[in-house]
Each structure stands twice: as C-alpha cells, then as structure tokens.
Structure 1
C-alpha cells in the first residue's frame, strides 16, 4: 500500500508541472512560435536527462524513440504551445483532462490491460467536473485552440501507452531523453522552414523556457513514465486530472481568472474521480465485496439445514 502511494505521488509531479506550463507559456514565452517553442522545450530537457543517464539507444529503441518522439514530443509540444497561446490557462489545461478514458481505451487495445469499473467511474466523475469547469464561459472560446488541445491529448495518450507496452527494463530516464532528443531534432528543420529564425528571447522568456524545459518537461516526464512503469494506465491517467486543477488554481490566483461556484463543484468532482481510480480504493472495494460474499456463504448452510429438519 505504501509503495503504491509513493508511485502515485511521484506520478503527480507531472500533471502539476504541466498545469503550470500553460500559464508560463501564455505569459512569458514568445507568441506565434509554437515550433520553436516546442524545440526549445524538448532539446534542453533531453540533454539534461542524457547527462544524468548517458546511454545510447540499442536495437529497437532507435525506431521506438523516433515514434515516441513524434507522438509525445514534437507534435505534442507544438500543439500544446499553440493551445496555450489561444486559450485561457484553465480551459487549455482542462481539455487534457479527458485523457484518462482515452488512455484506458488505448491500454485495453494495445497493452492488454483490463477495463476496470472503478477507474471508468472515476473518469466519468472527473470528466463531469471538467464539464463544469468548462461551462463558465464558452462565448470567446477559440476552437482552433480546442482542436489543438484535443489532438495533443489523443496523440500523447497513444504515445504514453506505447511507451508502457514497450517497457523492457530500459532505464526510464534514458528512454525519456531519447524521446526528447528525437522529437526536438525533428522540430528544428520544421521550425526553420515554417517560422524562420528563432524568436528573440528576453530574460523572462529565457527563465520561462528554463522552467518549462527542466521542471515541466525533464522532471515531469521522467516522473510520468516512472508512474506508467509501476501503475495501471487508468490510475496514471486519473492522476493526470491534477493538470486542470493546477491550471484553474493558477489561473485564479495568478492570472486573475474568475473561479465561480460551478468550477468549485467541478474541482471537487475531479479530485473525487482521482481517488476512485486509485488501487487502494479498488482493494478496499474488493475486500468489502469479498466480505459480503462470505456472509452469504456462511448463512446459506444454516438456512438449508433449517429447512431439512422434519
């Protein structure tokens, strides 16, 4: 039990960091440069992790790193950067909260994980909370930003489950570093071709990229993939609901976005959804069900004996 909660807490580092990424990107990083923004986020993170775990890919990890780099890094980071520039902090982060269901479906189809009732219920409760969080003001929603968020969520969910399926004992930090470097190198020619020279960076932008790259990318993704290596995909996906919680709280406390009664209820539902998907809750529910079964089994012979007395 203690070990499970330790991995849950490690995993939680990722969505909390990602929830803050939207605010930092929107407030401090240059607008209209999603490809350069993604490249400047991925490459330093990959180099940091490679310095910690200096190891080159072997065998199938050459092409696996390329596939995961495209899904989890190059396309994903560019879409997230675009969404962060087009959407309010709370809205951009909460769209990603639908990922638990998508991750569970991909885990069922690709990794052979069973669809379990409590995580699915937790995902439903969490998504209900997301609906309340999104229902505050949709009049000024940029639907290009929504489309970018949805695409980022689907592609990254697929990439996360593939990383889980391909787990073979290779060091998580090394695998994560290879993804960042592959995705970042793929982004460089695309950024030069589409956006031209790198955007000028002032001191706040440099500090913003340092935060996003080291904390919200290198550390966060290493924590996330560690969680995927030790926990079911449904549990990890539900922990990801802390992403919108962080985004909404930052938007309220720092960016001055309004937190209404519906959003408060939504946050409570999101937290309830996270708890429902935890293995501890599933074990407690299973023990209760088993105990109930024993009561029935113990009472049944008595009833039979009573009816057999002449």
Structure 2
C-alpha cells in the first residue's frame, strides 16, 4: 500500500469511527422532531462547509487541467505556454442534478428510511442490512464504469459484511422494517457512488457543502406529512449542543474525511471501510456500559478486520475516482 493510499485509508477509517462513536448521542434528541432535527444539523454543517470553502478556496480542490499544446503554427518551434483551464467552483447543471440526487437519497431518504424502520425492526436488524453496503459498492462501483468486479474485492467485502452481521446480531423485523432498511441500504450505497461522480472537479469541501444544503429543504418538506410542524419548538440546551456536535463532527469532519479518502481509494476499497462504523459503535457502547463485548461480537470484529486486510491489500482492485473520471473523459 502506498503512503497516499495509507493516508486515504486512515481518513476513511477516521470518518467511520466518528460516525460510529456518535450514534449513541442520537439518544439525546429522541424527543425532538427527528426530520426537523436532521434539517437543522445539515443546515449548520452547510454553513460551516461553505465558510471553509470561502476561507480556504483551494482546500481539497482538484488540480486544474491544462489546455493541450496547439500544433506548430507559422512560428514553428515555439510552443504556446500552457494555460490552466479554470476548474471552477460552481457546480454545472449536471453536477447540481447529481448533488440533488445525493442529498435526496444519501441524506434525506436515508434518514427517513431509518425513522420508518426502527418502529418495525430492532436497531441490530437495521444495522445488519445497512452493513451490506460494502458488498453493494464492490459490485456496483466497477459495473458503473463498465468493468467486471474484482473477485478478491468482492470476497473481501463479503467477509466484512459477514463480520458486521456478527457484530450487530440478527435482530427482529417485519416486512415494513425490512423494506425500510433496504431503502436505507440503497441510500448508503448511493451516498458514495454519487459523490464519486462529482468529487474530481468540485473536491470534498464543496461536495459536502452543496449536498448538505440541498438536503435541508427536502427534510423540511418530508417533515410536513410526518406531522412535525405541530411539534416544532426551540431545542433544549442539551438538544442544541447535541445537534451542534452532530453537525460539526458527524457531518463536517466525518464527511470531509470520508470524501477525501473516497476520492483517492475509489468506491470499492473505501466502501469496505463502512464496516468500521458498527465496530466503533460497539466499542463506544462497551466503554459506556463498562463491560467487554460478548464472544460473538468479538469474533465479528476479527472477521471484519480480516476482510479489510484482504481487500485493502488487493493489487489492481478498485480505482480512484480521479483516475476513473480521467478515463471517462478520454474515452
């Protein structure tokens, strides 16, 4: 593994650890209208991210491409200097569509599906279904590029999924809970696949900022049929602090770490690291409870580690989103 890939891997792991360890904090805002709370979280995150993009405009931006050298003209032997092609900071209409779809599926619909699923299924069952995301990304990532999935990466992703299932446990669910959990799984997969399409030009900061901003009106609209307007109120100090933490750490910091690593590793390799999230949740719960995980969960942790080691050391598997975009542009 190269040093750049190692840094990208550590960033993805860091992002998933933040998300997994922050799950228990959501218990502190259970009494607050959930879709409204998520809209507030993403609004705060979008403000912070646009501020970061304004203060540090080149942070995470793609290197500008250069115009090709024109053929020699009347002045043979002299080449015109290469002029950087403006990379731009505003999304194109196509990119806005992708970002809107990312916000609708990976953020708004994902949260809505979780809220629908939990009354009908144990959290363990929902987590197990969402834990299949590494396998979905290992299969769909190359297929969307017109390539065949790498057998070793698919096998490694399957091992990660099996380990995640062991960590989460089976749990109970009915048909509604299962369908909603599958919807959340689709949102989790779309989150990385759609981001990969716009990361090469926009960079992690702007992708995160625009997707968070676009998710806010979608969540507020969804809150209306859910009956939340009648319960709208100012958050308590604890709820406000929790929403602020979720916006700053679980959204801004985790999104930037994940998107930066994803841009380097590609969706297949980065997707396997989603398996770290339930491990972080398990470790946080064990610390809070003051007891070690049970043997089955410990075995699941070891299985996930085995799958990650197998997948992340695969040669020739996966492709950075920048390289994928370059190949698509030159085709």
TM-score of the two chains, using structure 1 as the length reference: 0.80
Q: 1:155 aligns with which of 187, 211, 217?
A: 187
- 5+ long unaligned stretches in structure 1: 286-310
Following superposition, the deviation at residue 9 of structure 1 comes to 0.5
Q: Is residue 29 of structure 2 the alignment partner of residue 29 of structure 1?
A: yes
Match of 1:39 in 2: 39
When you count helix as a share of all residues, which structure comes out higher?
A: 1
CA offsets 1:176-213 (integer angstroms, 9 cap, x no match)? 11111011122123224431142442222112111111
Kept in 2: contact 1:22–1:93 (CA 8 A):
no
Match of 1:165 in 2: 197
Which of these two proteins has the greater Rg computed from alpha carbons? 1
Q: How does 1:197-276 map onto structure 2 within 5 Å?
A: 197-255=231-289, 259-276=293-310
Residues 65 and 170 of structure 1, relative CA distance in 2, 3 Å threshold = same
TM-score of the two chains, using structure 2 as the length reference: 0.75
SS of 2:235's equivalent in the other structure is coil
SS of 2:202's equivalent in the other structure is coil
- Cα distance between partner residues in 1 of 2:219 and 2:240: 19
Residues 89 and 199 of structure 1, relative CA distance in 2, 3 Å threshold = farther
Q: Is residue 113 of structure 2 the alignment partner of residue 79 of structure 1?
A: yes
Tell me which moved more, 209-218 or 46-55: 46-55
Number of equivalences: 280
SS of 2:93's equivalent in the other structure is coil
- Cα distance between partner residues in 2 of 1:85 and 1:13: 30
Q: CA RMSD in A?
A: 2.8
Match of 2:99 in 1: 65
- Cα distance between partner residues in 2 of 1:141 and 1:248: 21
- Cα distance between partner residues in 1 of 2:147 and 2:256: 22
- Cα distance between partner residues in 2 of 1:17 and 1:39: 20
